[in-house]
């Protein structure tokens, strides 16, 4: 099927099989391998991307469902600088080890901070509760997001 969408701001036209999911489309057709695949059934959050204004599990969405949409992946958010402060906080706090969950974590964290600029630790934990990390034990990730939220609030005049 023909689809047309925007990915990280660029217009993409493609022909895809109806069964192709968005994660595989991004990874295999567009070589955007920053979107990771962990469980392929919507539990682990490694494939989290933003479609229009919502974060979604790219493994649970078909590529054809993204027709007409605007998709942002970790590559897009990184290149635009939108999450550079979150990334700096993750780096300073060593909030990643193997890094495989990190693109999805950053997507979910940015989604939270857009909705709730001053989240409590419990709210951060709750918002990330669909993103699995086997390495860190989460504590450092919560610290990093908390620090980034504080810094954003302080930088708002």
- Which residues bind to another protein, rule: CB under 8 A? 19, 27-28, 32-41, 43-44, 46, 73-75, 78-79, 87, 90-94, 96-103, 106, 121, 124-126, 128-142
Containing 3, the helix (H) or strand (E) segment is strand 2-7
At closest approach, how far in Å is the CB of 42 from another protein? 8
Tokens of 87: 């990334």
Separation of alpha carbons 157 and 153, rounded Å: 9
Q: How many helices (H) and strands (E) does the chain have?
A: 6, 5
Containing 78, the helix (H) or strand (E) segment is helix 74-80
Residue whose CB is less far from another protein, 41 or 157: 41
What contacts 79, CB < 8 A, 6 or more positions away? 8
At closest approach, how far in Å is the CB of 39 from another protein? 4
Q: Where are the alpha helices (DSSP H) in the chain?
A: 22-24, 74-80, 84-92, 102-115, 121-127, 139-155
Residue whose CB is less far from another protein, 45 or 157: 45
At closest approach, how far in Å is the CB of 71 from another protein? 13
Residue whose CB is less far from another protein, 132 or 152: 132
At closest approach, how far in Å is the CB of 16 from another protein? 12
Residue whose CB is less far from another protein, 68 or 129: 129
């Amino acid at each position: 099927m023909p689809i047309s969408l925007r990915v990280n701001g660029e217009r993409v036209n493609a022909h895809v099989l109806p069964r192709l999911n968005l994660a595989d489309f991004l990874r295999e057709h567009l070589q955007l391998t920053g979107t990771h695949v962990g469980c392929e059934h919507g539990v682990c959050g490694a494939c989290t991307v933003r479609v229009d204004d919502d974060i979604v599990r790219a493994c649970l969405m078909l590529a054809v469902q993204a027709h007409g949409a605007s998709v942002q992946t970790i590559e897009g958010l990184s290149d635009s600088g939108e999450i550079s402060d979150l990334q700096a906080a993750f780096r300073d706090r060593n909030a990643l080890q193997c890094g495989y969950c990190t693109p999805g974590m950053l997507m979910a964290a940015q989604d939270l901070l857009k909705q709730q600029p001053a989240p409590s630790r419990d709210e951060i934990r709750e918002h990330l509760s669909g993103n699995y990390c086997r390495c860190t034990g989460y504590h450092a990730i919560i610290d990093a997001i908390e620090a980034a939220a504080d810094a954003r609030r302080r930088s708002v005049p």
